[in-house]
Homo-oligomer: A and B are copies of this chain.
Amino acid sequence: MQQLSYFLAFAGTSFAGVLVIGWLLSIIKSVKSDSAVATKIAGAIRESAMTFIREEYSIILLVVALVAALLTYFASPLAAAAFVAGSFTSLATGFVGMHAATLANLSTTIQAKNHGERAAFLMALFGGGVMGFAVASTGLFSIALLTYLFLDQPAFAIIITCFGVGASLVAFFARIGGGIFTKSADVGADLVGKLEAGIPEDDPRNPAVIADNVGDCVGDTAGMGADIYESYIGTLISSMILALNFAPFSLKHVTLPLVISAIGLIGSIVGLVSNTLFKLEPATLLRNANYVAMAVLIAGSYAYLTWAHLPMTYFVAIILGCVGGVIIGLITEYYTGSTPIKKLANISRSGAATNIIYGLSIGMESTVLPVILLALLVLGAFSYGGGSFGVSLAAVAMLATVGITMTVDSFGAIADNAGGIAEMSKFDSKVRKTTDKLDALGNTTAAMGKGFAIGSALLAALALFSAYAQEAGIDSLNILDPLILAGMFIGATIPFLVSALTMRSVGDAALLMVMEVRRQFKEIPGLLAGTAEPDYKRCVAISTRAALREMILPAILTVAAPITVRYVLGIYALGGLLVGATLVGVLLALMMANGGGAWDNAKKYIEAGNFGGKGSDAHHAAVIGDTVGDPFKDTSGPALNILIKLMSVIALLLVLL
C-alpha cells in the first residue's frame, strides 16, 4: 500500500515532466519556416542524422540482443528483460532529444531572422529542454516502476543493476559513436576548409559542412543525453542497493534517492517555467533557472527528511552534492573562460607548438582543484552525511536537477547548428551574429556542464564501487596486497587505452575526410567559386562508417577488462581495477574537457580581434589547438565519463550473479 503511494507520486512527477516536453515541442513546432532554403538545409541535416542514428541503433540492438541472450542464460529472463528495458529507454531518450534538436535548430534560425535574440534563445533553450526532461522523467519513472514491481523479490538488486548495465552500454556506444562522427566531420571540415581553402566555418561550399552539423546533433545532443541518463540511473541504483542492506529493512531509505530525484525534477520544472515568464537576459535566465531548481531541491529535501523522520545527516550529503556541482562548474568556467585563455591566446603568437604545450598544461592544471574538492566532498559526505550511503546521496543530489542542467548544457549545440543553417541559407549576417552570441554563451555553459558531468560520474562510480564492495562481501581492499595493486595498475591503463583508440579513430577518419574534401575541391569544377554544389552525402557516409566501425573495439575492451580480471585475478583485484580506472579516468576526462574548452575559447578570443584577430599567425596557431581539442572534449573525454561507470556497474553485476 505504502509502496503504491510512493509509486504514484513518482509516476505523477514523471508525467509532469512529460507534459513539459509536450509543451516545449508544441512551441518549437509552432514556428513556421518562411525560407525554403533553410527548410531544405535543416531537412538534409535531420535526414542525415536520422540515417546515422538508424544505422547506429541497429548495431547497438545487435549487441543488446547478444548480451540479453547471455543474461538469460547466466542470470534469468527477468534480468535480461530489465537489461533490454535499460537499453531501450536510453535509446528512446537519445532519439527524442535529437529529434527535438533537429526541429529546434530551424526554429532558432527563423526566430533569429524574424524576431531577434530573445526569441531565438528560447527556441534553442526549449530544444535542449526536451532532452533534459526526457532524461529526468524516463529515468525516474523506470526505476520507480521497477521498484514497485520487484522490490519484494530477492532478485531486485540484480534487476535494477541489469537495467543500469543496459543504460550504460548504450551510452558508451552512443557517446563514442556520436563523438567520432562529430569530430571526424568537424576536424576534417576545419582542416581543409579553414586552414587550406581559407573559407569560413559553415560555408556551403565545404563538402563536409552538413556532416559537421549532423555531428552536433548526434554527438553533442544524443550522445550527451545518453551519458547523463546513465549517470542518473547509475547513482539511483547504487544508492538504492546500498540502502537495501540497512537492517531492519527501511522502505523510506530505499525510496529516498527516488524522492530526491523527484523533488529535483519538480525544481527543474519550476526553475524553467518561472524564469521564462520574465524578460531576462539569456545568461541571467540560465543562472536563475539553475539556482531556483536547486533552492527547491534543498528546501524540498529538508521538508521531506523532517516529515519522514529521517536522519538530518542525509541533508548534509544533499547540500554537499548540490554545492559541489556548482563549485566544479565555477572552476571549469575559470579555466575555460578567464585569465588562462587570454594567456593561451597570447602565447599562440609564437606558433602552434607552444599553443599546444600551453593548452595541455591548462588542461592538466585544471584537474587539480576539482579532484581535491571531490576528494574532500567524498570525505565530508562519508563522515558527516551517512557513510557510503551518504556519498551516494550526494551523487543523487548533484544529478537530481538534471532536467534543468541538461537543458542549459545542450542549448548551445542547437544555437551552433542554427548558425550553420543561417550561414548556408545566406541569411543577413545579423542572423549569424545573433546565433554566434548564443553559441558563445552555450560554450561556457557546456563547459560547466561537462565539469558537472565528470564530477557526478566520479560520485556515481564511487557509489557503484561501494555497492560492489558491499555485495562482494569485501570489508577491506588493502593496497599493500600486490594483487590489489596489480588490479589498480591494470585498471589505470584502461582510460589511457580507450583515449588512445578513440583519438586515433578521429585522426584516421579526419584524414579520410580531408582527402575526400580535397578531392571534391579539385574534381568538382566551380565548387570553390560557388557555382557548383558539393557532394555532401559522401562526407556524411565517411563519418558514419568511421563512427560505426570504431566504436566496437573500445566497448569490447571496457566490458572485457572487468570480466577477465574477475575470473583471472579475483574479486579483490577487480576492486583495485575499479579504483585505478576511476582515478585515472576522472583526471584524464577533466584534462581533456577543460583543455579542449580552453583551446576553443582561446581561438574565439583571438577571433574577437585580439592578438591580430582572424587570419593572423596567432589565429592560425589557435585553430590548430582547437582542432586538437575537438576529440579531447567531445570524443575521448566524454567516453571516459561513461567508461568508469560502465566498468563499475558490470563489476556490480558480476558479484550479484
Contacts and interface: CB of A to CB of B under 8 A. Distances in A.
Interface of A: 187, 191, 195, 347, 349-354, 356-358, 360-365, 367-368, 371-372, 374-376, 378-379, 382-383, 391, 462, 466, 469, 474-480, 482-486, 488-490, 492-493, 496-497, 499-501, 503-504, 506-508, 510-511, 514-515, 575-576, 579-580, 583-584, 587, 591, 624, 627-628, 631
User: What are the 3 closest A-B residue pairs judged by CB atoms, nearest first?
Assistant: A353-B627, A364-B500, A375-B489
12 contacts: A347-B507, A352-B624, A360-B503, A360-B628, A364-B499, A372-B493, A374-B489, A375-B485, A476-B480, A479-B484, A492-B583, A583-B583
B478 A368 contact: no
B591 A195 contact: no
Given A351-B191, A510-B350, A584-B584, A480 B474 contact: yes
B353 A628 contact: yes
Contact of A479 (B376, B489, B500, B576): B576
A368 B507 contact: no
The secondary structure that dominates the A interface is helix
Nearest to A376: B486
A350 B503 CA distance: 15
Given A371-B489, A485-B378, A510 B354 contact: yes
A606 to B, nearest CB: 16
A478 B579 CA distance: 12
Contact of A477 (B353, B479, B511, B628): B479
A250 to B, nearest CB: 23
Given A360-B628, A479-B579, A496-B591, 10 more contacts: A187-B354, A347-B507, A357-B503, A358-B507, A361-B504, A374-B489, A375-B486, A383-B482, A466-B480, A492-B583
B391 A353 contact: no
A550 to B, nearest CB: 12
B480 A367 contact: no
Integer count of this chain's copies in the complex: 2
Contacts of A482: 378-379, 382-383, 391
Contacts of A372: 489-490, 493
Contacts of A475: 480
Given A477-B478, A489-B375, A496-B591, A187 B508 contact: no
A426 B476 CA distance: 68
Given A347-B507, A375-B489, A575 B479 contact: yes
A195 B351 contact: yes
A251 B460 CA distance: 52
B480 A351 contact: no
A392 to B, nearest CB: 12
A187 B347 CA distance: 13
A361 B469 contact: no
Given A382-B482, A486-B375, A624-B352, A587 B477 contact: no
A486 B628 CA distance: 32
B493 A371 contact: yes
B364 A490 contact: no
Contacts of A485: 375, 378, 462, 579
B488 A368 contact: no
Nearest to A365: B500
Contact of A488 (B391, B469, B579): B579
Nearest to A588: B364
A368 B367 CA distance: 22
Contacts of A357: 187, 503-504, 506-507, 510, 627-628, 631
Given A358-B504, A391-B482, A474-B480, A496 B375 contact: no
Nearest to A620: B352
Contacts of A514: 350-351, 354
A501 B349 CA distance: 20
